[in-house]
Structure 1
Amino acid sequence: MASASSSASIPPPRSCTYDVFLSFRGEDTRTGFTGHLYAALNRKGITTYKDDKNLRKGHVISKELLKAIDESMFAVIVFSPDYASSSWCLDELQKIMECKNQLGLQIETVFYGVEPCDVRHQRGIFEEAFKKHEQRHDREKVKRWRDALTQVAAHSGWTSKNEHGIYCSSTNFLLFSHWR
């Protein structure tokens, strides 16, 4: 019989509406990489949430996006040059990390046109984005975004230099994608 402490660390099984939630900066990758990834996932029969495909007109965007994250088994986060400039993306990322820690959401990361160490340490364009956020948002919110970014960027992921595709063993699917 399992002790209460050991069973508390394993999230209970949950039903998911989506297999994958895609988090991405639309201006950077919507019609390119993320669009192709979305199409490839759908061809494989993987139910995927992409904001421009799944949002119903007239609904509050933020609530629906947060609900979609809650109802997903995996999150694929596509880090790109302008990802951190979007408070919307950072709010999504913070929610993804909360769901990872509380619900067992699985995370896959793609570093598209950015270096993983620049994301993890918020250097270069990520540092510039956070300087602007610090002028517009309260310190605690920016700290939560920084923490979420540091945590997720510590996961191994794929970079745009890796042209061998994406393999997610947990869902047993293989995608070959042209990164250029």
Structure 2
Amino acid sequence: MVIPNVSFSSPASSHPWNHDVFLSFKGENTHNTFIGHLHHALIEKGLKTFRDDMDLQKRDEISLALLEAIEQSKIFILVFSKNYTTSTWCLDELIKILECQKLIGQIVRPIFYDVDPLDVRKQLEK
């Protein structure tokens, strides 16, 4: 997988970052395939990447550690897959990410994995 050079200059460039990239995804759909390859490619580029462990998503609520990881990440890569929006965990995580983007100025980039962007936008099933 080829990852282009990414610039992280943003309005929040003085914010104390612990992670360059935060990957948001629905685990069982992408964890061992696409996300694994993407995570590896980002690390090879020297980017400190946060990938939520699948075991964390089995709880009912997002942990404080995960909320802090979101607040301390420069860029978010949202991997929308077929079942992403069926997970309240993923949707709560997405809300927090978008709140941080608005307040702190992080960069958000969506990837549509095996799903049409219009299906996600309009919540359609084929």
| TM-score (ref. length: structure 1) | 0.58
Partner of 1:29: 30
Contact 2:23 2:51 in 1 (8 A): yes
Contact 2:42 2:49 in 1 (8 A): yes
Map 1:48-67; keep pairs closer than 5 Å: 48-52=49-53, 62-67=63-68
Q: Aligned to 1:78, what secondary structure does the other structure show?
A: strand
Distance 1:104 1:81 in 2: 28
Partner of 1:85: 86
Moved over 3 A (4+): none
Letter of the aligned partner of 2:77 in structure 1?
V
Contact 1:25 1:83 in 2 (8 A): yes
Instruction: Quote the offset at 1:51 in angstroms.
Output: 1.2
Map 1:114-125; keep pairs closer than 5 Å: 114-124=115-125
Instruction: Quote the offset at 1:15 in angstroms.
Output: 1.4
Distance 1:12 1:111 in 2: 27
- The gaps in structure 1 that reach 5 residues or longer are 1-9, 126-180
Q: CA RMSD in A?
A: 1.9
Contact 1:11 1:102 in 2 (8 A): no
Which of 1 and 2 has greater Rg?
1
Letter of the aligned partner of 1:15 in structure 2?
P
Per residue, is there more helix in 1 or in 2? Answer: 1
Distance 2:79 2:120 in 1: 11
Partner of 1:113: 114
Instruction: Quote the offset at 1:20 in angstroms.
Output: 0.3
Instruction: Quote the offset at 1:98 in angstroms.
Output: 0.3
Partner of 2:96: 95
Partner of 2:73: 72
Contact 1:19 1:47 in 2 (8 A): yes
Instruction: Quote the offset at 1:13 in angstroms.
Output: 2.4
Map 1:151-166; keep pairs closer than 5 Å: none
